Chains A and B, each alone.
Chain A
Amino acid sequence: MKLLTEILEAVVLASSQIRPDIYLLSLEAPTISRDARPGQFVHIRCSHTYDPLLRRPLSIHDIGSKGELVLLFQAKGRGTAWLAGQQAGNRINVLGPVGQGFSIVANKKVAIVAGGLGVVPLLFLARKLLESDNEVNFFLGAQDCDKLLRLEALRRMEVNLFLATDDGSAGFKGTVTDLWKKHLRPGAFDWAYACGPQAEMAEFARLAERVALPAEVSLEERMACGIGLCRGCVTAVCDASGHKKYENVCSCGPVFNAAAVCWED
Chain B
Amino acid sequence: MDLIEIFQQVINGLSRGAIYALIAVGFAIIVNVLKFSNFAHGGVLGISAYAGYLASSQFNLSFIPVVLIGMVTGAIVAVLVEFIAFRWIRMQKGQLVYFFVTSVTMLMLLEQILVIRFGSFFDTYPYDLIKVKFINIGELSISVTYLISLAVTIVAFGLLIYVFKKTKIGIAIRAASNDMTTTSLMGINTGMVIIAAFVVSGMMGGISGVLFGISTSLSPQIGQVVVKGFIASVLGGLGSLTGVAVAAVALGLIEVFLVSTIGSGYSPVVIFALMIAFLLLRPQGFAGVSFTDKA
A and B: bona fide binding partners:
no
